[in-house]
Each structure stands twice: as structure tokens, then as C-alpha cells.
Chain A
Amino acid sequence: MITWTAPRSRRRGSVIRESSSSPIADDGDSLRFCSTCAFSSACLEQGYDKSRLAELHVLVEHVGPFAEGTHLFREGEPFEAIAAVRAGTVKTYVNDSEGREQVQGFFLPGEVIGLNAISRNTYPCNAVALDTVALCRFSFPGIAALAARMPGVQQQLFRLLSQDIGKAALLAGNYTADERMAAFLVSLSRRFAARGFSPKRFRLTMTRTDIANYLRLASESVSRGFRRLQDAGLVAVDRREIELRDLAKLEAMASSILRG
């Protein structure tokens, strides 16, 4: 069962009925997309605002909120949909043959989960909410049809897919702990900035263990890395709040990993 399919009790009557042509349950605007929507600009470029997107209305469903620790889908479950994160952070991971967790990525508001399932019939990883998560669910066969009609949407899909593959670059390669840490922070900064959030101040919703796992470092090394960056005046850490004090230097440190 896929948790992100909104349970009946959560659906607000006629507002989110899948077959209904009523407006998308949004944050109150019947014309505009969510500010973080991965597809809004693609649709708008094609001249489709929300009122004209009858097809999309059928496909798009706001689901959640999901509590911290909720699995949104699990490895091996049949592929049904991709989803844009509207709020919160989602972690994807797999378990290796010895049962050890391998973190694959973190998804912030505006980013899309489930893309790596497109080429298969099942999800190839697990997705779990790291805090309170709200999603915008796109049932896939529908969006494929839509993509065929709107080249911009298709392009956006390809772009998202390639970004998803690009993330793997962080994990591979012979980089130092400091380079990995800097690349991780710069990547988060750029992604927050792209969605209109502050590029310099954000909250790390992922645990130290998850960050360490993702960067293939020991937990202690992650903390030592943060401490070194802090002592050098590049970041300020207050519990989970991070301030990037010298983004230019961090960018330079991260440049070998985040080429281009």
C-alpha cells in the first residue's frame, strides 16, 4: 500500500475527489499553482494557468500532512505516482544486502520524489518523512499523457530526471570530508534559493546519522567537519539552524564536486 495516497478520512469531501473537476485543494488560490510547484513554470510557459488545466486538475492531488517517520512508499511497491514535496523534507534510502541503510537523497519543498521509479514498475527505494511532510501527488500515466501534449512539461520531467541522477555525484569520487560537507551545504543552499527560501539560513531537518550516511562519513567526522567550518568562520551552527557566513569560500571548496 502506498501511504501517500490520501487516506479517505483525510480527504476533505468533494474538494479532493480524484474524478472531480473541482479546483485543486490548494492554499486558497484557484488560479495559481503552489509557489514551489515543479511544473508550474512549464505549464505557464505553455499558456496553461490553473483555470485552463482541466487535465492537470484530474492528476494533481494534495496529500498529507504525514508525520515524521511515515513511509511514503517502500522499495518494491508498485509504482503509481511521483510527488512534489510541498512542505517538509523526505529522505530516500535502500537497505543493502546486509540490511544496512544507505541514504540516497534528501528532497526539499518543490523537489520531486519517485522519479527513479519511472523506468520500472516498482519503487526502487524507500521514502520517509523526516518532519511533517505535505505532498502534491501526480498520478503518472496521466502526467505522461499531459507531457505528450505539453512539451514544456516533458522537458521539465527530463530535467528533473537528470538532476536526480546528478545527485549521485556527491556520493562517488575521491573527495575529502570537508569537500563533501561544503558540497552538501552549497547544494542545499542553491536548492533553497531556487525555491525562494533563504540561501544563507536554513534548518537541517536530517539527522547527523543521515548526513553522515549520505556523505559516506562517520557521524563524528560530520560533527568535526561542522566544527572546522565553524572555527574557520564559514558557517555558524546553532543546534539545527545553519547560517552560511561565507558562501563564496564554501562554493570554492565544493567546486570540484559541484562542477557546472
Chain B
Amino acid sequence: MTPAITFDAGLLRRYDQPGPRYTSYPTAPAFTPDFDAARLRAHARRSNEEPIPRPLSIYVHVPYCFNPCFYCGCNRIITRDRSRAAPYLLRLAREAELISPWFDRDREVIQVHLGGGTPNFLSAAEICELMECLRGSFRLTTRADRDFSIELDPRYLHLGDIASYAACGFSRASFGVQDFDPEVQRAVNREQTVEQTLDAIQACRDSGFRSVNVDLIYGLPKQRCEGFARTLDIVTAARPDRIAIYGYAHMPQIFKPQKQIVEAELPAPAEKLALLQLAIERLTEAGYQHIGMDHFALPDDDLSVAQANGTLQRNFMGYTTHAECDLIGMGVSAISHVGDSFSQNPRELPAWEQAIDAGRPPVWRGLELSFDDCVRADVIQQLMCNAAVDIAAIEARHDIVFEAYFGAALAKLAPLIEDGLATRDSTRIAATSRGRLLLRIIAMCFDDYLDRAAQPAPRQRYSRVI
């Protein structure tokens, strides 16, 4: 289905450069501390006042992990001390009490995502307690098609607990796998058996979960096509509804755990690209649809359906059918997207704790989207979700003349078109099959923050795009 994609070495060198993943535009480095809790509150109030206020989506970050995976770029705290969960939960409850009055109670929460870290660092009873506390503060939907998802680490999972996750409302589970190759697992300090993983997937199905997702990573140390092919075969045979394939971002100066990774063991850019091509081939052969940058889904999954309908969206949780929500992030480092604003909680646990203990909503920094931000965010969203931009639709939505408004961006796009990554005519810009692997590069043409002098160079902030 997917045609063979070839890259020559020169092209690879040119485009193997750092770039944002565009889970938001503007991206988090553009957030500033002058955006405080009062401004978030004003945006929340305003969001209540639309004729049909958007439904709500809640993200809760659980930072704790039992064991450090060396590749991890997430905000996490390594500990085996389970007693740290209880005070964290108490503060989450307090945060919900501080934030929830800002949102009108008739606004239904149609999406909940528990991410980390390792959400199942919390016991099953604590997870249900957290859901009950969210139910006390917000109106969680009871709809059967709700998206309440939880990230689970199969290595620390009691299969018996999965039924209680389902009982407290969860309908989707996401499992980290990365690679089953034992050599790779040792190199990244994450040893997880095939049995643990498959048993967990089966237990979710038995408990009535609507959907299961598996995360894989390409570009890990010691990773080779042969081993990764075996992993892909095992995973596709288990038929998870969604598979995410993330490129490993080696930035040890920002993500300290990555210092443990031996740089010489990392695959070269050409090998890394071969791993990605292998994944795309195997997954499409197995009947999965390529949803966007890094996601695949079975044809009857909501994401595939949404992409076919043109309603696919992208937010901090990746691709979703629910970006028309206002997103409330809770817990350390969590990001919110309310109205035309982004905001983020403190990244460090003590700062988050102090704010909550003082009865202050823990907003660390954020940004109010300008008109220009909204126009560019729309274009980038289109690119990341549909691999194409409908020029007339953008012009109509924002009342602009595309060619005049995006003169500079189109000039940046021209060499990409020459290199066969994108095409452009009077009605649309589209990524070619080759360009679909480099959507970030195409989107970067429309990013107005990359050149701004006030920020550190992109190389220090963003991972390589391949």
C-alpha cells in the first residue's frame, strides 16, 4: 500500500535536523511566566460563554516511576516508595477543587487521560479514588463512547486490577513496549517480556476496554531491523487498535537519563530511517492505517474514521478525535489548552506542591494565542493531521489571502517542493509519501517562532525530525 520511500544521503543530511513535534503551536518553549493563574481563569470564564461551550478533556500527570528507562524524555521521578502516591493524590484533589469552579458545571468531560510517568505506580484503589475525586469536581460523561484512557506499564501491572480500572470508567489502555529485542531492552534499562505485554492486552479485552494502544520506539541503541521486525510481528499479531511509533530523541543535555545511553550504540540516521520504513511497511501490510506522523490505527478505530472524515486533531496527547475540547492539565508539568490559551504547571514537584499548599492554582507559564498564532496553528494542525493544507478553507476561516499572508513561509517551502517532499498548487499544499515522514520539516516553514532571536537555537530545544 505504502510505496517504497527512498532518500538519498544528501537529502537525509539536509533534513536530519532538530524540530518540534507540534503537539501544540506555539510550542511550549514560547510560553512565558507572565501568563498566570488569573489569566487562565479569565480564559476559562470566557470559554464558558460560547453559545455551546466546548466539552472538557482532563489530563492528569502521575510523575512516579519504579525504574528509569534511559530513553525517557518525560517529566518523571524514580522511586520505589509507594507511599509518595497518597500525598500526591491529595494535592491532585486540591488542584481539582481549585480549578473546577472556573468551568461551568454543564460542561461535560468527555476525555480523561492518565499519563506519566507510570500511572499504575498508584494502586488500583488509588486510581479509582482519583476518578471519584474528578467526578466530585467535574461532570464526567457516562457515555459509552467516552475516551477515558490510562497509560500502563505491564511490568508492574496486576492483571486482576484491570477489571477495577474498567469499573471506575476507563475504556482505553496504552502500553509502552518500545522493542522486545532483549539487547535493546538491556541497553535502555527496560526489560519487559512478551508474555507480560500480551497478557495485559488480553486482560483489557476481557474487561471490556474499547481500545488498546501500544507504543514502540525506533532509533534506540542496539536496535536493528531484524530484531525490530520480530517486535512488529508480535505486536501486529496481538491486534492492538492503535500503534504509536515514536522516533527516539537523543538529547542528553536536556533529558539527563539519556546520558546512560551509549551514543556509539545508536543507529545512524540512514539506519534509523530504515527502521521507520520497516515499521510503516509491516504495519500497513498488517492492515493498519498510517494516521499521521507517528500513529497507526486499525481501519475501524475512531482515529482512522476521523481521518477519513477530516475531523482528526492533534494535541498534547497525540492524535485525537477530541481536540474541540478545552483541555485541563493537572499534576506536575501538565499543560492546559483553554480557549485561545496554553498554560503549564510547574515542572518541578516542590513548586507544584507549594502552590497547591498555599491554595494557589499551580500555573507556571503560558501564552495567549494571537491572531497570527491561530492562523499558523490551523495550518500546522492541517499538515500534521491530513498531511495537506486546504488553502481556500484557511482563507475562509481566517479571512486572509494565503499567498500574501504566507509569503515568507512559501519561500521556505519552495526547496522542500524541489526535493519532492511536498507539492503545491493554487488549492492545496500536500506532503508527498516521502514528505509524510518529514511533516515536522514542512510544518516548520509555517512556524514563526523558530527564527525569533529571544529564544535559544532550535538545536538545543528540539529533537531531530527523523
Contact = CB atoms under 8 A, between A and B. Distances in A.
B393 to A, nearest CB: 12
A189 to B, nearest CB: 15
A237 to B, nearest CB: 5
A22 B385 CA distance: 57
Interface of B is mostly: loop
A223 B49 contact: no
A237 B52 contact: yes
Q: How many B residues are at the interface, by size bracket?
A: under 10
Interface string A221-256: 011001100100000010110100000000000000
B106 A240 contact: no
B104 A240 contact: no
Contacts of A230: 52
B375 to A, nearest CB: 15
A104 interface: no
Contact of A226 (B48, B51, B54): B51
Contacts, number: 29
B269 interface: no
Nearest to A221: B106
Kindly state the interface size class of chain A when it binds its partner.
10 to 19
A230 B50 CA distance: 14
Interface stretch (A6-14, A78-86, A91-99, A204-212): A204-212
Contact of B49 (A207, A220, A227, A242): A207
The CB with the most chain A CB atoms within 10 A, among B51, B52, B53, is that of B51
B104 A219 contact: yes
Nearest to A209: B49
Interface string B54-86: 100000000000000000000000000000000
B11 to A, nearest CB: 40
Contacts of B50: 208, 239-240
Nearest to A242: B51
A211 B51 CA distance: 9
Contacts of A207: 49
A226 B52 CA distance: 7
A209 B49 CA distance: 6
- Most chain B beta-carbon contacts within 10 A, residue among A220, A222, A239: A239
Interface of B: 48-54, 104, 106
A-B pairs with the 5 shortest C-beta distances? Answer: A207-B49, A220-B106, A226-B51, A208-B49, A226-B52
17 contacts: A204-B51, A208-B48, A208-B49, A208-B53, A211-B51, A219-B104, A219-B106, A220-B106, A223-B51, A223-B52, A226-B51, A226-B52, A227-B52, A237-B51, A239-B50, A240-B50, A242-B51
Given A209-B48, A237-B52, A240-B50, 7 more contacts: A204-B51, A208-B48, A208-B49, A208-B53, A211-B51, A223-B52, A227-B52
